[in-house]
Amino acid sequence: MNDTDAIRDVLSRHGNDGTRLMQILRETQEVLGWLSPATLTAIAAGVNWPRAKVEGTAGFYSFFHTEPRGKYRVLWSDNITDRMLGNMDLMQAMCQKLWLEPGHLSEDGLVSVDTTSCTGMCDQGPAVLVNYRAIPRMTLQRVEQMAELIRKEAPMADWPADWFAIEDNIRRADILLGCTMLPGDAMKVSLARGSAPAVETASNERSFREAVHSSDAGPGATLDEIKKSGLRGRGGAGFTTGLKWEACRNAPAQTRYVICNADEGEPGTFKDRVLLTRQPDLVFEGMTVAAYVTGASKGYVYLRGEYRYLLEPLNSVLAGRRKAGLLGKNILGRAGFDFDIEVHLGAGAYICGEESALIESLEGKRGVPRNRPPFPVTHGFLDQPTVVNNVETFAAAAMIAGRGGDWYRSFGTAKSAGTKILSISGDCERPGIYEYPFGVSVRQVLEECGAKNTQAVQISGPSGICISPKEFGRCIAFEDIPTAGAFMVFDQSRDIFEVVRNFVHFFAHESCGFCTPCRVGTSLLKNLMDKIAAGHGTHYDLKEIQQLNSVLQISAHCGLGHTACNPLVHTLERFRPAYERRLKSLDFEPAFDLDAALSHSRQMTGRDDAGAHLSNELETAAEKA
Amino acid sequence: MMSATFTIDGQEVPFTPGQSVMQAALSAGVFIPHLCYHPEFRPHGSCKLCTVKVNGRPATSCTLPAAAGMDVESNTPEILDKRRALLQMLLVEGNHFCPSCEKSGNCKLQALGYELEVFTPHFNQFYPDRPVDASHPDVLLDFNRCILCELCIRASAEVDGKNVFALSGRGITKHLIVNAESGKLADTNFALTDKAAQVCPVGVILEKRVGFAVPIGQRHYDAAPFSAHVAEFKPTPESQGERS
């Protein structure tokens, strides 16, 4: 099949619909290897969009390539937990084996090796993606074998199957991970609420679909259970789920949408991956409950590109649900209750975890957060009322629909009902997935995961909070430490400065670039941290960090910019010596490094003797004086 | 219609429903610094120069709908400090050499820099590598000065109906592109008469062969500062109350 046919094939599979551009680009790239200028022109013509707009989308996402990247594309997950497990040395070894430099295509055009943001395998790192297939637990031996296979151009289908095995590592299950409800159970209970004459509901007059007049009291009654449960969003922001659903339900609409945010990009978080592996039916059931309550007719799972390997298993679960009458037309025999779910893949952009950026991406555009108001509940996907919830929120909603709000409230604390799934990684004996009722103390979690000599815990990822042992009595709960689930442990042997530097690089890499403060500010912060790491930092630079923080806090467009300085601010408060021991004692030190500026000259002349270095001479002279 | 009011730095400002804080302020002759805002286009909210505090909370005044009784702070030392930092960020992000720029004196970035007393770039320069595009017979594109306000993108799409410009890349590598497989302006249907050729607030989109027709010193912002031109930025009816 030639390129033109391949592109036409993909386009027709997606009905030449530009809003499906992300899937069109990904599938085209899976066939052709990269997105050449001619390919983008053909796709633009196919969806009838301006070419520049298609190129703009392709250029936004890390996993789309508008330049050749080789037959094999190896990306090393570069979260701090991967670093702690030695990923940099392994990547270096791989590059040596393959005769190439990180970030550059090999001279024969066969392979490229680079880093990527956290791939969500923190409990089984160091991890890589090879052609966007996840391979955890890399070792030197695997690096050598992989380099051999790549050089022999062995198809990935022939690579050892056990390399691709992803472990769930569930160490503590509670109501969600231990859920024994069968597919359809929660929906049956929800539907039954409508036919129970004794049920009194607060908002049951409204038809669940404008087009179908219905006296069905089920949606209203189910919404009341969700409200009663006190469920709050599990993606980090903690918005009350019942209110979100109600706002969507009450907004005028042609169509309503339910979107499951499975763009689990916060470094150190991998609980949605496990939920989608172990409890996909529960998640889909929660989405169906949301559709029943709000009157939505279409659902999307926005799955991060790093979890590409989950696409086929999830699609087969969806097929099973359709067969069982749990998706499709007239669900469970209820006339007019039509709802179906489709899985869409992201392509390597952390910002798409922000709900309005996710919607933009789902519409085939660059993942840039929208101006709000209006909010997605009234003007979301294709400008229609849209509920966007986290994977874990939908799973919890399904439990609540099945067992009731009061039952759910009996777990957790008064202000934080239910359980929270933590993704634990870093310095502990048993990294993995832990589901706890809200209110559990950090200390208890640390004890149970086998953490020793803990220096710090980063909770909820780089955008969350970094705490020191003095605070280990604090609790995981909305009223104390809220979290999207990441829980990274650092023992006394770790350099907190390097942890933070890793996070700062992450934010600079993931800034969408829409607003000035975040686009430029995150890169300025990165440069400042690199300057300090290189031994050129002073107290002046620490003040600069505080100053940049205040600019980002006041003027950034979205949460990424607002939280980009969190790791710096929290650790400057608690671990200041980690910074100060790297500082020169001067008030000011120019970032311009004379000696480094000569590195090109040294490379070109092949010299590296003392005479070819400026600073050595100067420093020696200063010492003599 | 009886209009409601809010206050900016204590001064009462009337507004009509649907107006943003920025539109109401400019209509009333109250200047709020801005770069990506343009009276003829829907608000964008990316440059953040118009950041204010509303009832103590930060907000972007060009995208925030005005509401009765709002207490807006704009020209406070704290906010001016942040705006200065934002201008400095824009200045170090690109390659801005005012003395050799044809737009000097007519440039909003430069004018705002003078207005807010930005005397140094403060941050380290990024010195990005951004080749110019001189392929078009009538127009030069000097990307070195692009501040990513997207005004040319909006003008080309909404007024010219051409979609000549778009953005690609992400974060600090975000950049303006043109609608051609070659990446060259000459291969688009762009024309000097396009609205998109008129809206650049800095010196990216320049007409060829007319350089320095007006001497520096006699240009738009040379005689009076940016804020004195507030009447030019009053919103047009079309630009109000629409969602981007």
Which residue is closest to B92 within chain A, CA to CA? Answer: A520
* A365 neighbors A187 (Cβ within 8 angstroms): no
Res. A613 pLDDT band, cuts 50 70 90: confident
Give the per-residue pLDDT at B1. Answer: 47
In whole angstroms, give the CA distance from residue B178 to residue A53.
9
Listed in order, strand segments (DSSP E) in B95-154 are: 139-141
Which domains are delineated in chain A? 3-60 (no CATH), 72-167 (3.40.30.10), 185-409 (3.40.50.11540), 419-494 (3.10.20.600), 497-580 (1.20.1440.230), 594-624 (no CATH)
Could you report how far apart the first and last alpha carbons of chain A are, in Å? Answer: 74
More reliable by pLDDT, A209 or B89: B89
Contacts of B168 (CB under 8 A, 6+ apart): A52, A55, A56, A58, A59, A60, B174, B175, B177
How confident is the model over A22-38, as a mean pLDDT?
96
DSSP output for A166-223: PP--EEE--TTTT--PPTTHHHHHHHHHHH-TT---SS--S-SBTTB-----HHHHHH
Closest CA to A23 of A73, A50, A63: A63
Pick from A361, A527, A551 the residue to mutate for testing the B interface (most B CBs within 10 Å). A551
Per the listing, tokens 């507030």 go with B230
pLDDT at A543: 93
**Residue A618: its pLDDT value, please?**
52
pTM of the model: 0.93
Give residue for tokens 């070419």.
A51
Is the pLDDT confidence value at A609 over 90?
A: no
Q: Which residue of A has its CA nearest to B85?
A: A551
pLDDT digits (tens, 9 = 90+) for A509-554: 999 999 999 999 999 999 999 999 999 899 999 999 999 999 999 9
Please identify, in words, the CATH class of the domain defined by B118-224: alpha beta
CA distance A552 to chain B (A): 9
Cβ neighbours, 10 Å, residue A604? 8
CA distances from B76 to A575, B53, B56, B79, B81 (A): 33, 10, 12, 5, 8
- Find, among A385, A436, A407, the residue nearest to A171 by Cα: A436
Q: What is the pLDDT, as a whole number, of residue B178?
A: 98
Nearest to B181 among A51, A515, A527 (CB): A51
Q: Where are the domains of chain B?
A: 4-75, 118-224
Is 90 exceeded by the pLDDT of residue A2?
A: no
Task: Work out the angle between the directed axes of helices A185-195 and A391-403 (0-180°, nearest 10).
Answer: 50
Number of residue pairs across A and B with CB atoms under 8 Å?
131
Q: Which residue among A38, A61, A555 sits closest to B58, beta carbon to beta carbon?
A: A555
A515 contacts B170? CB cut-off 8 A: no
C-alpha–C-alpha distance, residues A566 and A525, integer Å:
12
Q: What is the pLDDT of residue A619?
A: 52
Q: Which fold has domain B4-75?
A: Ubiquitin-like (UB roll) (3.10.20)
**Under an 8 A CB cutoff, do B172 and A508 touch?**
yes
Beta partners for A172?
A434
**A463 SS3 class:** coil
Task: Check residue B212 and give its pLDDT.
Answer: 84
pLDDT of residue B118: 96
Residues of chain B with pLDDT under 50: 1, 241-244
Considering only CB atoms, B167 lies closest to which of A56, A556, A592, namely: A56
Rounded CA separation A309/A21 (Å)? 20
- Proportion of chain A above pLDDT 90, given as a percent: 86
Angle between helices A271-278 and A280-294 (to 10 degrees): 90
Q: How far apart are CA B60 and CA B37, in angstroms?
A: 11
User: CB burial class (10 A; 0-12, 13-18, 19+) of residue A48?
Assistant: exposed
The overall average pLDDT reported for chain A is 93
Q: What is the phi-psi region of residue A367: left when phi exceeds 0, alpha when psi lies from -120 to 50, beta otherwise?
A: beta
Whole-angstrom distance, CA of residue A389 vs CA of residue A261? 6
Q: Which of A61, A510, A514 sits opposite B46 (nearest CB)?
A: A514
* B4-75 matches B118-224 in fold: no
Q: Which residues share a beta bridge with A299?
A: A258, A341
In the three-class reduction of DSSP (H, G, I as helix; E, B as strand; rest coil), residue B122 is classed as coil
Distance CA B93, CA B123 (A): 9
Q: How confident is the model at residue A201 (pLDDT cuts 50, 70, 90)?
A: very low
Q: What is the mean pLDDT of residues A71-78?
A: 97
Chain A: give the shortest CA distance to residue B130, in Å.
16
**Secondary structure (3-state) at A425:** strand
Whether A520 and B163 lie within 8 Å, measured CB to CB? no
The reported pLDDT for the residue numbered A610 is: 83
Asked if the model's pLDDT at residue A156 lies above 80, the reply is yes
Assigned token pair, B22: 């920025």
Residue A200: the pLDDT is 37
Q: In whole angstroms, how far apart are CA A133 and each of A187, A306, A613, B73, B105?
A: 34, 7, 45, 51, 54
Measure in Å the smallest separation between the Cα of B122 and chain A Cα atoms. Answer: 10
Q: Could A516 and B164 be called an inter-chain contact, meaning their C-beta atoms sit closer than 8 Å?
A: no
Q: With beta carbons under 8 A apart, name residues in chain A contacting B42.
A: none
Question: Does the beta-carbon distance from A555 to B48 stay under 8 Å?
Answer: yes
pLDDT for the residue B237 = 65
- Indicate the pLDDT class of residue A621, thresholds 50, 70 and 90: low
Name the band, by pLDDT with cuts 50, 70 and 90, for residue A160.
very high
Task: Name the β-bridge partners of B175.
Answer: B168
Contact B166 A56 (CB under 8 A): yes
Residue of B nearest to A379 (CA): B243
State the smallest CA–CA distance between residue A558 and chain B in angstroms.
Answer: 11
List the single residue in B157, B171, B182 with the smallest CB-CB distance to A512: B171
Q: Find which of B20, B53, B170 to mutate to test the A interface (most A CBs within 10 Å of its CB).
A: B170
Which residues, including other chains, have CB under 8 Å from residue A378's CB and lie 6 or more apart? A247, A248, A251, A385
Cα torsion angle, B39, B43, B44, B48, sign: positive
Q: What per-residue confidence (pLDDT) applies to A615?
A: 60
Q: Say if the Cβ atoms of A371 and B90 lie within 8 Å.
A: no
Burial A17-45 (b: 16+ CB within 10 A, else e): ebbbbbbbbbbbbeeebbbbeebbbbbbe
Strands A128-130 and A72-77: antiparallel
**Is the distance from CB of B165 to CB of B152 less than 8 angstroms?**
yes
Which position has the higher pLDDT, B78 or A208?
B78
Question: Nearest C-alpha of chain A: how many angstroms from B161?
Answer: 11
How many Å apart are CA B24 and CA A596, to the nearest integer? Answer: 52
Of the candidates A507, A502, A454, A423, the one whose C-alpha atom is nearest the C-alpha of residue A236 is: A423
In tens, the pLDDT along A417-465 reads: 999 999 999 999 999 999 999 999 999 999 999 999 999 999 999 999 9
B89 contacts in chain A (CB < 8 Å): 516-517, 520-521, 524
| ipTM score assigned to the predicted complex | 0.95
- Out of A52, A349, A371, whose CB is closest to B63? A371
Q: What is the mean pLDDT of residues A261-267?
A: 97
Q: To the nearest whole number, what is the mean pLDDT of chain B?
A: 93
Position A314: which residue type? L
Strand partners, B53: B58, B73
| Helix, strand, coil percent values for chain A (each to nearest 5) | 50, 15, 40
Nearest to B181 among A38, A62, A591 (CB): A38
Can you count the helices (H) and strands (E) in chain B?
Answer: 5, 9
